[in-house]
């Protein structure tokens, strides 16, 4: 690992965040799972296709009606702890959400160079997973990819009953790890999460531009974006 975290794409962002930070200044690394370490294609295929199909069949709806019903409710709880809970959605849909994911688990995969990055960074820094995925969701991926073995610890929003969009999550993670905002790097594909982390005082923030390998990249006007972890080393 070089002495500097070189962000090769030095696009200007509205928040004037540092384009380069020295790895010598980084002590703690916090990494999201879905869309950051792992290809979001798996989750999207379940929530955008498998669930609407199952919901339509279960409740005798057309696909249009099914999607409208589901997406309307998702908008109501987005950013809340319920949005990320398998139990919540199983209760709402009357469908076993965990089983629905297990049926598609062949699509679970690391994003390009994520596994390599984990090996590199965990050997040198206090590296933790910070995910909104509840323990059932994370467990499906962990059983296949052994994520827990690749980091110092895993924190789920379910553990604290607070999503990463809320300050309570970051306070709980700080209490558990002792991280200092000035020496912590957070990588995520969710701008709202990065905004919450910034508000808490985490200074080094990176936005994943291509969380789903089957979809187009997105740009952030607020945070420095990366496509691959190699851009950080």
Domain boundaries, given as residue ranges, for the chain: 4-40+110-232, 41-105
* pLDDT score, position 19: 36
Asked if residues 184 and 26 have their Cβ atoms less than 8 Å apart, the reply is yes
pLDDT at residue 211 above 80?
yes
pLDDT in tens, 140-181: 999 999 999 999 999 999 999 999 999 999 999 999 999 999
pLDDT tens-digit series, residues 94-126: 999 999 999 999 999 999 999 999 999 999 999
Strand ranges (E), the chain: 4-6, 20-22, 28-31, 126-131, 153-156, 184-188, 204-208, 224-226
For the segment 14-21, the average pLDDT, to the nearest whole number, is 40
- Chain position carrying tokens 């709980």: 172
| pTM of the entire predicted model | 0.91
Model confidence over 201-210: pLDDT tens digits?
999 999 999 9
DSSP for residue 111:
P
CATH number (2.140.10.30, 3.30.450.20, 3.40.50.1000, 3.40.50.1980) of 4-40+110-232 reads: 3.40.50.1000
Q: Are 203 and 186 in contact (CB under 8 A)?
A: no
| Integer CA distances (angstroms), 49 to 101, 148, 196, in order | 11, 28, 30
Residue 7 clears pLDDT 90, i.e. is over it: no
pLDDT category of residue 21 using cuts at 50, 70 and 90: low
């Amino acid at each position: 690992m070089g002495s500097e975290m070189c962000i090769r794409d030095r696009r200007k962002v509205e928040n004037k965040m540092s384009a380069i930070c020295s790895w010598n200044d980084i002590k703690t690394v916090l990494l999201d799972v879905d869309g950051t370490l792992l290809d979001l294609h798996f989750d999207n295929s379940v929530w955008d296709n498998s669930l609407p199909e199952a919901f339509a069949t279960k409740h005798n709806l057309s696909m249009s009606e099914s999607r409208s019903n589901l997406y309307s409710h998702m908008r109501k709880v987005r950013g809340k702890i319920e949005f990320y809970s398998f139990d919540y959605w199983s209760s709402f849909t009357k469908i076993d959400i965990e089983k629905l994911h297990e049926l598609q688990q062949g699509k679970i995969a690391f994003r390009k160079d994520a596994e390599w990055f984990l090996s590199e960074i965990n050997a040198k820094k206090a590296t933790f997973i910070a995910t909104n995925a509840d323990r059932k969701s994370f467990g499906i991926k962990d059983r296949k990819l052994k994520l827990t073995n690749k980091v110092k610890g895993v924190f789920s929003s379910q553990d604290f009953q607070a999503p990463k969009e809320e300050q309570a999550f970051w306070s709980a993670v700080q209490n558990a790890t002792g991280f200092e905002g000035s020496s912590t790097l957070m990588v995520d594909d969710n701008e709202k999460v990065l905004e919450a982390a910034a508000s808490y005082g985490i200074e080094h923030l990176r936005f994943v531009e291509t969380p789903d390998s089957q979809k187009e990249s997105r740009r952030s006007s607020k945070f420095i974006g990366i496509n691959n972890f190699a851009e950080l080393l």
